[in-house]
Amino acid sequence: MPNLPSPTSPLSVFVGCATCPHRDLLAAGKCEAGDICLMAQSGRQIDRFLRRNPQFAQNCLSDGFWERRAIAVRYAPLEIVRQMPRDPDEVVRRVVASRLPIEELVGYLTDSDREVRMTVAERIAPEQLHHLLDDDDYLVRLQVAKRLPQGQLRGMTNDDDREVRKEVARRLPPFALNLMLKDQDAEVRRIVAARLLPDDAIKLLMDVDWVVRLEAVQRAPMDAIIALLHDEESDVRTVVQQRLDEFRQGENT
């Protein structure tokens, strides 16, 4: 059984063990000054304490220290967390949003903090994601693009942010990718070209970006790529020649 630090020891003065309302836990080995402590201003120590003593979490939900409240939300009974008023601190609200049942997240769709809304976008039912399609923050919309049902992705093909459109290009079914053939960003068109149906790939054979052309020549019909034997980019010419050679070998077997 560990010895209780004396009231005058440096460690006791630092963490307040002598006057701590939980000092009995120290003697029982359920906390440790400087390492497992609810009263410390250290998230690591608080988390270790509540992980070991979750029965104290509920009483910390209205604590004046935001980090103590945020950690307490992780360990408090869900029924109590569900009854909490909206916390003024965004970190606490993020943890709440990570614990609430998905059907109760609607109230956080318009939270002022983008990471709260990102947490909501990661968890909310897919049929509710349309509420975040026009979110001001691209990271929120990016999370929406990752989870939105494919049939609703068409509405995001013209998103203002390149990273969002790249995700849309990765997820759209190939037959719908012709909606993005003229995307202003070459990185988006590269993804599109790599997934297009063969007849649609023809439309990108003359793209100004050579990597887009390189992707397109690997998917376009054979008779359409012959003109690129004289492409200005050697890698494009090489792939065209390889495809033609393979095609001729196949005809001769």
The rounded distance, in Å, linking the Cα atoms of 111 and 117 is 6
| Interatomic CA distance for residues 228 and 240, integer angstroms | 7
What is the structure's pLDDT at 81? Answer: 96
* Per-residue confidence (pLDDT) for residue 8, from 0 to 100: 34
Dihedral angle sign, alpha carbons of residues 177, 179, 181, 187 = negative
Residue 59 pLDDT: 94
pLDDT higher at 168 or 247: 168
Nearest-angstrom CA–CA distance, 182 and 160: 14
Lowest mean pLDDT among 32-41, 58-67, 100-109, 171-180: 32-41
**pLDDT band at residue 247 using 50, 70 and 90 as cut-offs:** confident
pLDDT digits (tens, 9 = 90+) for 158-194: 999 999 999 999 999 999 999 999 999 999 999 999 9
How far is Cα 95 from Cα 74, in angstroms, rounded to an integer? 7
